[in-house]
Structure 1
Amino acid sequence: MTAEKAKPPYSRTRPFPGKLLVNRRISSEDSGKETRHFEISIAGSGFNYEPGDSMAVYPSNDPQLVEEIIQALGASGNETVPATKTESAPFRNALLRNYSITTPTPKFLKAIVERASATPLLGDLLDPSRKHDLQQYLWGMEVIDFLVDHPSARFTPTEFVGLLSKLQPRLYSIASSLRLYPDEVHLMVDVIRYESHGRMRAGVASAFLADRADDGFVPIYPTVAKHFHLPENADTAVLMVGPGTGLAPFRAFLQERQTIGARGRNWLFFGSQREACDFSYREDLERFKADGVLTRLDTAFSRDQAQKLYVQHRMLENAAEIWRWLEEDAQFFVCGDASRMAKDVDAALLRIVREQGSKSVEQANAYVEKLKTDKRYKRDVY
């Protein structure tokens, strides 16, 4: 069922059709990143969520890419194909709404090898022992590339959709407090755009929000983050590390704490590439600071000086004070990139505990593990 037809109660399988109210770029045109602020109406949804939770966005695919795939397959787009386990739809509609049409699945790649002429390299790369080589080969390549490059591989529309995975919702950290904004939800999104193999590519959900959602509905449904909520005691201090779009939940945290009059101190570490281009929500953060909600704000802009500077460096510069907060029962939150940032922040935290607490490596590890066990060290990394 499409979001336009869905009626209460809403669920993961019956998302709410939210109207896009605001679509604003918050990184400057000179930035290397396209960061956008979205506001979506949730009036009438009955949604109930907390700061720290995420919103699932159910995107549709790029209509132009859908037409290119239909053309490459020599189809009309009107053929009837399976859309869900119980429903069928015209091929064009199914490609738009039901299937992931960018990332090649193993089934699809195997079918290309079996049906296309002259693909020995791809066949070799599908050997399980060459998984890393296959990943490198596939970087920046999409389903359409294989269809165009291997026209001898022919598929009927029904065969083709059988080789695809289902189009999944994308999760974005909610950047607003429901108490402050009961009828809308705010999202902070980096829009993915890049060129590869002579073709412009775009992230399915981020480009859907940025380019194609203004005139229609955005199907959404909240997802609970079990271990990433504010402390129950409003007097508890909070340390937040959120570079890039990792800032999103902490904007919601600060709005919530201000709205309920929480007395706990709040310390935010934010980082991005350049202060002039990438200081997201600067006015909001400065207002929180002026209002006394944000006790401390430390920023790290990696490309504003010769030596790259990141949030973990700011943490180490303030090691003694961070240790003091931790010893006074502060909770420590991290949101953002899992591949590097979260690991670097974790290493910095361990170093602070070891050096400031005069502990051995084993004792520092045990201290940080206890922070996790006591739900005082919480991470939302992706």
Structure 2
Amino acid sequence: MQRVGDRPGDALAVVPLNDERLVGALLEHFGASTDEEAARLLRREREIRTPSKELIADLVERAPSGELAAVVAQGSRSDLDSWLWGRDVLDLLRDAGPTATPGLAELLPLLRPLQARQYSISSSPLAHPDRVHLTVASVRYGSRDRRYEGVASTYLADRTDGEGTTVGVYVQPNASFGVPADDDAPMVMIGPGTGIAPFRGFLHERAARGASGRNWLFFGDRHRETDFVYEDELSELRTRGVLTELDLAFSRDQAEKVYVQTRMRERSRELYGWLEDGAHVYVCGDASRMAKDVEAALLGVVAEQRGRGDDDAAEYLADLRRAKRYVRDVY
């Protein structure tokens, strides 16, 4: 029996703690390294990686001639997002300078509550009834002067392996994103990078259920040598006949970049045939570019194979959505 509220397609929310080094750097910035209550709040309760709207507004008011204020004055959300990309709370405070930043007591209410991070469950409770698997890529970037790390990804990777460590988690159901109820229905899964996570669970679920429906996975990343997660598992699933088709796209392994949408177009006829056979299509991963490119490729496949123009292809895809046969879990 499946655990209540735990199914392939659901997410596991992880309640992280902030990195002690960033907490320490913030306290040092304010000359408050011995303030235990502020340290506790910054470590456990406040979002210090992503600046809040309230903090941005406060800094703009304090420094109306500063660089941040100039970006905000342009009124473009995309420009502001681009300027903020990679910057954390400490960066904004340092950029504003000592005469245009709030004190520590003023800062704390301007920070958002520390949020749980959600990760797609990458296991099936039918196959692994005593545990939940996640597929997490540690986010790390920056220079020697400033190193930046993902809040939850490096918390899980670096700071939860001690004996007796307890991590706060809870299941976040996703009722619209799950294995077809019909075990005979074909399933097309498009999940580059960590977007493969739910589809690993889907495949294990179908194997455990003895489902006869065909399964097709489009997976990609930068380099096959370093980024082909679950290679052995996928090979085994193919050998067992659970994974019917596997198309791979490693974008940096050749001069011309190849993505999952490239593979979709290359197999246009077969992919449309699966759609006509009642396939459910799932997309998981990056919302900013991948999901849009995949949808454009899907529309192109339908338009090419049906030969009735773009409007007909758009309506075909809309019909799939209405039938809950085209669903996405993107972020």
TM superposition score normalised by structure 2: 0.92
Alignment of 1:101 onto 2:58: no
Mapped pair 1:191 → 2:148: no
**1:309: how far off?**
0.9
2-structure distance, mates of 1:156, 1:53:
41
Please name the residue that 2:203 is paired with. Answer: 254
Equivalent residue of 1:378, what SS?
strand
- Say if 1:133 and 1:242 are closer, same or farther in 2 by CA, change over 3 A: closer
Moved more, 150-159 or 184-193: 150-159
The aligned runs of 1:285-296 (5 Å cut-off) are: 285-296=234-245
Please state which structure has a larger fraction of its residues in strand. 1
Structure 2: how far apart are the matches of 1:172 and 1:114?
36
Distance in 2 separating the partners of 1:130 and 1:334: 29
CA contact under 8 A between 2:5 and 2:173: conserved in structure 1? no
> Residue deviations 1:118-162, cap 9 Å, x none?
953333333363555443433322211233452234645432211
Q: Is the contact made by 2:303 and 2:312 (CA closer than 8 Å) also made in structure 1?
A: yes
The reply to whether residue 220 of structure 1 matches residue 169 of structure 2 is yes
Q: Which residue of 1 aligns with 2:81?
A: 135
Residues 198 and 51 (structure 1 numbering): CA distance in 2 closer, same or farther, change over 3 Å?
A: same
List runs of 5+ in structure 1 lacking aligned partners. 1-45, 80-89
1:344 aligns with 2:290: no
Look up the equivalent residue of 1:234 and give its one-letter code: D
C-alpha deviation, 1:113, in angstroms: 4.7
Deviation at 1:230, TM superposition (A): 0.9
| Cα deviation, residue 373, structure 1 | 0.3
Summarize the Cα distance change of 1:95–1:329 in structure 2 as closer, same or farther, 3 Å threshold. same
For structure 2, the 5+ residue unaligned runs are: none
Question: CA–CA distance in 1 between the matches of 2:48 and 2:268?
Answer: 47
Distance change >3 Å, CA 126–CA 353, structure 1 → 2: closer
Range with bigger deviation, 209-218 or 254-263? 209-218
**Larger fraction in helix:** 2
Superposition pairs of residues 197-346 of structure 1, within 5 angstroms: 198-215=145-162, 216-346=165-295
1:16 maps to none
Taking structure 1 as the reference length, what is the TM-score of the superposition?
0.80
**CA distance, structure 2, for counterparts of residue 311 and residue 136 of structure 1:** 26
The 1:77–1:146 alpha-carbon spacing in structure 2 relative to 1, beyond 3 Å, is farther
**Alpha-carbon distance in 2 for matches of 1:121, 1:199:** 20
**How far is 1:47 from its partner?**
5.3
Per-residue deviation, 1:254:
0.5
Going from structure 1 to structure 2, the CA distance change for 1:137 and 1:354 (only over 3 Å counts) comes to closer
Query: 1:272–1:302: 8 Å Cα contact kept in structure 2?
Result: yes
Partner of 2:67: 121
Aligned: 1:170 with 2:117: yes
Structure 2 letter corresponding to 1:193: R
Structure-1 separation of matches of 2:19 and 2:85? 20
Q: 1:77 to 1:169 in 2, by over 3 A?
A: farther
| Secondary structure of the corresponding residue to residue 168 of structure 1 | coil
- The count of aligned residue pairs is 326
CA distance change for structure 1 residues 91 and 381 in 2, over 3 Å: closer, same or farther?
same
